[in-house]
Amino acid sequence: MTKLSLLFSLMTVQVVLNGILQGLVLALLGIGFNIIFGVMKFANFAHGAICVLGMYLVFLLSGRFGVPPFLAGILVIVVLFSGGYLFERFVLSGWMDRADEEMPMVLSVGLLIFIENVVLLAFGADSHLIDVPLMKRAVVLGPMYFRSSVFVAAAATLVVFIFGYLLLMKTRFGARIRAVADNKTGARIVGIRIVRVNAMAFGISVAFAGIAGTCLSMMEPFTPFRGLGLTLVSFVIVVIGGMGSIVGSLLGGLLVGVLNSLGQYMVSESMSLLVGYVFLFATLLLRPEGLLGKGKGK
């Protein structure tokens, strides 16, 4: 192998690794969307905007008030979880049963636009990046360089993912959530309190968006306009992986992350977004239930 091709392949390894790290975070975002869609049949178009809200809350706490970024991240998660829980409990629940099928989507698109423009008015259109002071140094793996906060964010994501997976798959609470997602009427008959499950699921979903936002804010620069793109990315991940499948979302996230990263390296930043979108349509064409989905969605 010549020196040049070695360098090239090392570059590719670095690009793929970066993609995996980013894909982990995106997977978290997708899982959040997936939970809420599975349990409440609510396609939350504001999901990406909530993620952006998380970024700016971390920015506000750590940039303006000097709270250490990780403490800020935890605070943001607590705030977003309670916000989501209360929003579902007191605003959405009850309304969802009365509303026409398309109204929840309209409501969430309204929320997307609202959050995006409020953030824009409050923080301006400049791009920001959260830097973790202790971890400014780059991690050097042979000839490859990584910003170390990227690793920390990815590690945090992995922890949250394992925690979320165990919560959903191994606890009684998780079993209740899955039961409601599977069959609402059946779940009600066996005595599950749907209202409480819905509110918890909404809170968890919003918190996942917040965690993803916290991690992304340390990985790459962000602006208020990222919300729509992140919502679309979570759609793509969930459709590719399959509605209702947690492991599917993880696979989808990693796939989108790596493809994006390769696309950025080989073509251009904006064209790389196309890769994921093309994958979405290919999935709709070839396997509409997604890689790991059960049966067709309606």
Partner 1 sequence: MTGRMMGRKKWAGFGAGLLALLLLPLLLSESHQSTVITCLLYIYLGSAWNIIGGLGKQISFGHAAFFGVGAYTSTILMLEIGVSPWIGMIAGGGVAAVAAILLGVLCFRFRLGGVYFSIATLVFAEIFRILAINAEFLRKYSDVAGGLGITIPFRSDPWNYQFAGNLPYYYIILALSAGAILSGAAVRGSRLGYSLRALGDSDESAVALGVHPGKVKIAALALSAFLVALAGTFQFQFIRYLDPNQSFSLHLSIIMVFVCLIGGFGETFGVVVGAIFIVVVRETITSLTSLMGGMNAGAVSEAIYGACLMAVAYFFPNGIVSYARARIGRAKRMRITAAGTC
Which parts of this chain interact with partner 1 (CB under 8 A)? Answer: 37, 43, 45, 91, 95, 98-107, 109-118, 120-121, 228-229, 232, 235-236, 239, 268, 270-271, 273-274, 277-278, 280-281, 284-285, 288, 296-298
CA distance 6 to 281: 35
- State the minimum distance, in angstroms, from the CB of residue 263 to partner 1: 11
For the chain, the C-alpha Rg in angstroms (whole number) is: 19
Nearer to partner 1, 78 or 105 (CB): 105
The neighbour count for residue 241, using CB atoms within 10 Å, is 29
Buried b (16+ CB within 10 A) or exposed e, 31-45: bbbbbbbbbbebbbb
- State the minimum distance, in angstroms, from the CB of residue 190 to partner 1: 27
CA distance 272 to 21: 17
Nearer to partner 1, 34 or 157 (CB): 34
Bridge partners of 146, per DSSP, are 139
- State the minimum distance, in angstroms, from the CB of residue 232 to partner 1: 6
- State the minimum distance, in angstroms, from the CB of residue 125 to partner 1: 9
Please count the helices (runs of H) and the strands (runs of E) in the chain: 12, 2
Nearer to partner 1, 103 or 138 (CB): 103
All residues at 6 or more sequence positions from 286 whose CB lies less than 8 Å from its CB, including other chains: none
Nearer to partner 1, 86 or 106 (CB): 106
- State the minimum distance, in angstroms, from the CB of residue 252 to partner 1: 14
Nearer to partner 1, 106 or 155 (CB): 106
CA distance 150 to 220: 9
